[in-house]
Structure 1
Amino acid sequence: MSKSKVLAATIVSALIGLFFLFCLGWAIIDHYGKRTSDMETIEESPIKNDLPDDFTVVALGDSLTRGTGDETGKGYVGLVVEELESEYNKKPLIHNLGINGQVSKELAQQVKQPEVKRQIQAADVILVTIGGNDLFQKGQTLLDYDSEATSDLRRNYLENLHGIFKDINNVNGTATILLLGLYNPFIELDEDFDTNRIVRDWNNETAEVVALYKNAIFVPTFDIFQLSVNEYLYSDKFHPNQKGYRLIADRVAPLIKWEDEDR
């Protein structure tokens, strides 16, 4: 083979080698470059703002907590949760532990139950309706009014209320507790005696108990029902209807602050 042919073959081989090395290098860069880019995307992608943070609402109490009288089944608790979702664009967790007909003595026992204590411990907000069944007893207390008997009912109720708040604070000392006051569904009985005074006195002493506990708020409802009570009552003339629950929810929801550093 002549020298010129050998030289040509050497040059061709060298070019092929260089082209191979170039292709290999490009493939390596392309492969690892994509892996790095993908990893950077994963590491730098922020959590979407519309994803729910942990925020738990626990609702305790009687038939008002259950929403009896609201044909949609939401009650004030469901409406409050809806308002929170609308305001914060996030869905809170809700545990509704209300029991129809529950009185304060029964609630005092309920908050001692291990599973209930676990849910209270995880709560950011605790909503409570209690006392209506203690006082009204399906209307009999006011129909057969006895001031001494009513005083006994109130004294037992306030003692139970102290126990309820102490047990809640022992389990969770940071959650906001919102206790709803009573409205008077029996205003029409005022021709015989002052039912408004009885309910107001009950609410005033309840508010004094609530004021003794940190992070606790008494939420009045008496005034929003007083002037047009029948417009906001269900057909049983005792529980709120959907309009009544809406009034309660509109008062409760603004008191709940969803702490969110991103807002």
Structure 2
Amino acid sequence: MRKTPVIFVAISSVIASLICVIGLGLTLYDYFDTPTKPKIETTVKRESETEEKRTKIVALGDSLTRGTGDAEGKGYVGYLVANLEEKSKQKLTLSNLGIRGLTSVQLASQVKEKEIQRQAETADIILITIGGNDLFRRGEGLADLSPESLLPIEAAFDENLNTILTELRAVNSNADIFLIGLYNPFIELENAEQTSKIVRAWNYKSAEITAKYPKTVFVPTFDLFQLNVNQYLYTDQFHPNTEGYQLIAERVASLITM
């Protein structure tokens, strides 16, 4: 009878030791093996994938890209982004690299810069407004718009436009490129017929050049301003106002599928 308690105590001790060992093992397993880590990594990857799937727009060019004349400072680029976000129900990323007063020779130089190429390389959509400062020369060009005087200007612009598109395609062969055509802000002046003819010819040649490059589209805007140009111009009678920029944005948005 005296041995029974001893045996009972011994068995109890063994069981207690086993429980301690198992408990220690579980504790060490929980410490060194953390099953929550893969879940965290998965979440991070998903967030990263979401960022990568965002459509990136890079806007290049002159004051129209900057939005000069728009009361809200958005320009056609800002209204276009809002339009596309509403249509696609997804957020977009935008790099607006426009510079007021930019000419085609300056843009041809700009697209060779490392930072511009870095931005263009990851773009899904590239927008360009250029040529207005070449042709109109801030209004000074209106004094002499003869075909002869325009020949060297047109030739230089055509060469620069080819350089711009070639450089962009060299760093990004997949992006959709949209070149926004010129409108005639002087359509109600005395020489309106002459200026309109010149602008249409300029646009025609620009469209021909863009057609040589894959996934590159010329976007006409001449007709948008033709019937009532003053309704869509800013007080400087050159840049579009808010309504004018919205018209351009709607035209471009109609060509983009997302």
Deviation at 1:244, TM superposition (A): 1.6
Deviation at 1:233, TM superposition (A): 1.3
Q: TM-score, normalised by structure 2?
A: 0.83
Aligned-partner Cα distance in 1 for 2:40–2:116 = 39
Aligned ranges for residues 210-249 of structure 1 at < 5 Å? 210-249=210-249
Q: Tell me if structure 2 keeps the 8 A contact 1:52–1:91.
A: no
Distance of aligned partners of 1:192 and 1:49 in 2 relative to their CA distance in 1, 3 Å threshold: closer
Q: Deviations over 1:79-134 (max 9, x none)?
A: 23333444252332x33222211111222222223333333333332211011111
Match of 1:10 among 7, 11, 17: 7
- Alignment partner, residue 131 of structure 1: 131
- Alignment partner, residue 171 of structure 1: 171
Q: Tell me if structure 2 keeps the 8 A contact 1:177–1:217.
A: yes
Aligned-partner Cα distance in 1 for 2:257–2:21 = 59
Q: TM-score, normalised by structure 1?
A: 0.82
Please identify, of 137-146 and 28-37, the stretch whose mean Cα deviation from structure 2 is larger: 28-37
Aligned-residue Cα RMSD (Å) equals 2.9
Deviation at 1:57, TM superposition (A): 2.5
- Alignment partner, residue 39 of structure 2: 41
Deviation at 1:44, TM superposition (A): 5.5
Deviation at 1:257, TM superposition (A): 4.8
Deviation at 1:183, TM superposition (A): 1.1
Deviation at 1:188, TM superposition (A): 0.7
Aligned-partner Cα distance in 1 for 2:205–2:58 = 24
1:204 maps onto 2:204 in alignment: yes
Aligned-partner Cα distance in 2 for 1:254–1:36 = 51
Question: Aligned pairs, how many?
Answer: 254
- Alignment partner, residue 261 of structure 1: none
Aligned-partner Cα distance in 1 for 2:117–2:171 = 7
Distance of aligned partners of 1:224 and 1:24 in 2 relative to their CA distance in 1, 3 Å threshold: farther
Q: Deviations over 1:23-65 (max 9, x none)?
A: 6535644774695542453465571599422643222111101
Query: Structure 1 stretches of 5 or more lacking a match?
Result: 259-263
Q: Deviations over 1:208-260 (max 9, x none)?
A: 011011121111111222223222211111111122212222222344455xx
- Alignment partner, residue 56 of structure 1: 56
Aligned-partner Cα distance in 1 for 2:121–2:243 = 32
- Amino acid of the residue matched to residue 21 of structure 1? L
Query: Structure 2 stretches of 5 or more lacking a match?
Result: none
- Alignment partner, residue 92 of structure 2: 91
- Amino acid of the residue matched to residue 130 of structure 1? I
Other structure's SS at 2:218 match: strand
